[in-house]
């Protein structure tokens, strides 16, 4: 959908894989909007050259008093996209983890729910939950890290109950879920309303999450209307931790999805893409990111149920 922007992104990043993320603003020509203000205030006139600021260090272009979304981010190395231990890692049905049974070296419980995340993501989640509660939106953690083994069990159990084809529609196959990275968290209203349902995004809490997730280093991984790109339905509850640097660069890139962002980075780095798997995300069967709690399955919309759940 936004792949037509990739060639223009080449200009800024092609020879500087670890460039300051503000490069997106120049590459995409968005200097007239908010980011332009950040650039303008961040570059002292004496340092700014007509071409930009090749002599300016990344530290110098971070406006200290800007809103988080306006800060210059840092793009990851393209190699990091396929490194499951990197905050930049991307995982989806077309880009399974390598190794397939990857597990993070360190995990910790986010809170009393017992759900685990990589420590930096767990801390960010606690901060997000605290801020949400302060704003009057008590949230809970619905799902965090899921191991390869757990995902395999889930998939097998869904397949046994509903058949392999349907199982593949409602559950990620092991090795393709972001939850296996320990960097993805599903949040829900503390009172359970609209849990794992699109209507979560319509609640004041869901709207708060959409607005503030990036303040804590998260992106909404499966935005509305992007199923063709992500392979997933709209999931306003699924947050993916990438950290402040990448989240700012992602915002500056104006990519709608992390798939588009990653594709732009790879195009920009002039990498020869590896042969694509036969099934692209947009062509894969629609998957829903269900929790490993059985009730999650029962919340599926009627039109997505192919048989009566044997409850």
115 near Zn ion, judged by CB under 5 A: no
Which one from 142, 235, 245, 259 is the annotated catalytic residue?
A: 235
95 near Zn ion, judged by CB under 5 A: no
Cα–Cα distance, 220 to 256 (Å, whole number):
10
Question: Would you call 143 helix, strand, or coil by DSSP?
Answer: strand
Output the smallest distance, CB 289 to Zn ion, in A.
4
Kindly tell me which of 11 and 111 has the beta carbon lying closer to Zn ion. 111
235 is catalytic: yes
Which residue is closest to Zn ion by CB? 238
Output the smallest distance, CB 208 to Zn ion, in A.
18
Output the smallest distance, CB 169 to Zn ion, in A.
16
User: Strand 218-222's sheet: what is its strand order?
Assistant: 139-143, 184-189, 235-241, 218-222
249 near Zn ion, judged by CB under 5 A: no
Asked whether the beta carbons of 137 and 208 are under 8 A apart, the reply is yes
186 near Zn ion, judged by CB under 5 A: yes
Kindly tell me which of 107 and 269 has the beta carbon lying closer to Zn ion. 107
Cα–Cα distance, 97 to 78 (Å, whole number):
15
Output the smallest distance, CB 151 to Zn ion, in A.
12
Kindly tell me which of 40 and 298 has the beta carbon lying closer to Zn ion. 298
289 near Zn ion, judged by CB under 5 A: yes
Kindly tell me which of 15 and 293 has the beta carbon lying closer to Zn ion. 293
Cis peptide before 99 (omega within 30 of 0): yes
Instruction: Tell me which of 5, 19, 238, 287 binds Zn ion, using CB under 5 A.
Output: 238
Question: Would you call 194 helix, strand, or coil by DSSP?
Answer: coil
Kindly tell me which of 26 and 238 has the beta carbon lying closer to Zn ion. 238
Q: Contact region for Zn ion (CB under 5 A) — 37-45, 65-73, 102-110, 180-188? A: 180-188
Cα–Cα distance, 68 to 135 (Å, whole number):
18
DSSP secondary structure string for all residues of 56-101: --GGGG--TTS-GGGS--BPPPHHHHT-TTSTT---BTTB--SSTT
CA angle 92, 143, 251 (to 5 degrees): 55
CA angle 25, 27, 29 (to 5 degrees): 65
Give the interface size with Zn ion as a residue count (CB under 5 A). Answer: 3
Catalytic residues: 235
Q: Footprint of Zn ion on this chain (CB under 5 A)?
A: 186, 238, 289
């Amino acid at each position: 959908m936004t792949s037509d922007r990739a060639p223009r992104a080449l200009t800024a990043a092609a020879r500087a894989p670890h460039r300051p993320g503000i490069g997106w603003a120049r590459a995409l020509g968005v200097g007239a909007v908010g980011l332009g203000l950040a650039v303008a205030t961040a570059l002292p006139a004496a340092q700014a050259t007509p071409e930009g600021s090749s002599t300016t260090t990344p530290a110098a272009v971070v406006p200290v008093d800007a809103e988080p979304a306006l800060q210059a981010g840092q793009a990851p190395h393209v190699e990091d996209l396929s490194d499951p231990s990197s905050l930049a890692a991307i995982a989806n049905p077309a880009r399974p983890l390598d190794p397939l049974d990857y597990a993070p070296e360190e995990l910790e419980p986010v809170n009393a729910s017992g759900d685990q995340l990589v420590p930096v993501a767990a801390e960010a989640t606690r901060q997000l939950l605290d801020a949400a509660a302060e704003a009057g939106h008590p949230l809970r953690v619905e799902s965090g890290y899921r191991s390869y083994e757990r995902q395999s069990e889930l998939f097998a159990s869904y397949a046994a109950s509903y058949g392999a084809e349907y199982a593949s529609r409602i559950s990620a196959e092991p090795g393709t879920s972001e939850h296996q990275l320990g960097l993805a968290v599903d949040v829900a209203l503390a009172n359970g309303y609209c849990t794992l349902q699109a209507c979560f995004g319509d609640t004041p809490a869901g709207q708060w999450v959409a607005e503030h997730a990036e303040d804590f280093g998260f992106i909404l991984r499966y935005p509305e209307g992007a199923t063709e790109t992500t392979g997933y339905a709209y999931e306003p509850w699924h947050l993916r931790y990438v950290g402040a640097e990448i989240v700012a660069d992602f915002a500056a890139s104006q990519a709608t999805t992390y798939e588009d962002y990653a594709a732009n980075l790879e195009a920009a780095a002039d990498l020869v893409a590896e042969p694509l798997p036969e099934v692209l995300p947009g062509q894969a069967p629609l998957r829903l990111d269900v929790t490993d709690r059985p009730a999650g399955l029962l919340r599926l919309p009627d039109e997505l149920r192919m048989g009566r759940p044997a409850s």
